[in-house]
Amino acid sequence: MTAFWYVGFRPFFLIALIQNMIVALIWTLHFTGLHAFEVQVLSANRWHAFTMLFGFVFATIAGFLLTATPKWTNTKPVSRLYLKIVVFVFLMGQILLLTQPIMPTWLYQTVLSLFPLWLCVHLFFLFLKTKNYQQFVLLIPLFVIALSVIFSFGSHGGTWISMANSAIRLILIVIAGRIIPFFTRSVMNVQIKPANKYAERLLIVVLLILIFEPLYQYVSFIGQMIWITLTSLALIFNVYRFFLWPVRRAMKRPILFVLYIAYMWIIAHFFFNLTRNFGITTVVGQLELHALTFGAMGTMILGMLCRVTLGHTGRKIKASKLMSTSFVLITLGAVMRVFGTMLVSSHYVQWVQISGLFWVSAFLLVAIELIPMLLRKRIDA
């Protein structure tokens, strides 16, 4: 087990896989009326958002950052006893939300916010010490997430969860803009035309402002116009970035193409945001939200779990049959969750049941293959 505690992706990816399947199954059963589940300090809907965003998604982001930032900064990773303590702190909060202990709200807020606050502080001093100032852009959404963990328990919790969603969206787009071209070059040995640096910077600024969209989107006409302009720019810039990549050639490599599919869901998310605003698409099923969460986050994380684990355990970066099947399942699940509820809204509950089953099945297949890799040392050690 020495290798397990050497770098952050191993324990946090393991937690993400197990916690995700548990809470996704609980929510699907609860939402469809097959099993009642309630946490006293949070409503059922907020518990679902909370456990998925601040549990499953954030565990994956943390595992990736704790693995990637030592390479970006040429420093040693958080490991061994230090990593064990960090993982224990994160797990305490997740267990609280599953076991339903009777505790005051402030204790939930304190325990659950310790890890995201630590990650912000850790990365801040790491980037400052190594003069990696360009990485500071990641600290803003991470700090918003940490604050959202605290304030999601209050009366304005929905607003904070919405901002956390947008903060994670920014992190996802920033990371995707780095890893998809890098992975494409390494897997396919092709050169990719770099994106215009000014367009990239403007995209980051747009996404940063959009984190706070609940504070101005419906406040006034001017706020609405600002939101429409920024969302339109985000859509245009992401489409521009996407078509710089060799999409057709990537289709032959499932381990790579799954990330392209995830990015298409990001584009769909911004498109549905605009169509919903103009009343073109219905609010039933929250198409724009689930295009981001189920489609983009779910698919991107599934692909990243496989790609990073294979690469960092010394294995050939090629999708197995189980992995390829899971990529198909998560994509079909996202299509049903987003488009099924839009086209046949009368069967909304059934669409949630089926898409939830596809989600759990996709991650179960990946877990069967990845967990042994995460627990063992590198095969080229």
In a domain, 179, yes or no: no
Query: Among residues 98, 121, 154, which one ends one of the domains?
Result: 154
Angle at 321 between CA 316 and CA 326, to 5 degrees: 105
In a domain, 191, yes or no: no
pLDDT for the residue numbered 219: 87
Q: Distance from CA of residue 210 to its chain's centroid?
A: 17
Give bridge partners of residue 109 from the DSSP assignment: none
**Domains contained in the chain, number:** 2
Cβ–Cβ under 8 Å, residues 122 and 141: no
In a domain, 96, yes or no: yes
Q: How far is CA 316 from CA 129, 300, 327, in A?
A: 34, 20, 18
The tokens of 54 are what? 């601040």
In a domain, 369, yes or no: yes
Closest CA to 79 of 4, 130, 129, 14: 4
143 plus 2 within the same structural domain:
yes
Q: What does the DSSP assignment read for 236-263?
A: HHHHHHHTTS-HHHHTT-HHHHHHHHHH
pLDDT for the residue numbered 1: 58
Domain carrying residue 333: 252-376
- Separation between Cα atoms, residue 355 and residue 333, nearest integer Å: 4
Predicted TM-score (pTM) above 0.75: yes
Running along the chain, 381 residues long, what does each successive block of 10 average in pLDDT?
Answer: 86 95 84 72 84 94 96 93 96 84 84 96 96 93 96 89 96 94 85 87 96 92 96 97 91 94 97 91 80 96 95 92 96 93 79 90 96 91 67
Collapse the DSSP code of 98 into the 3-class scheme (helix H, G, I; strand E, B; otherwise coil) and give the result: helix
Query: Among residues 154, 185, 204, which one ends one of the domains?
Result: 154
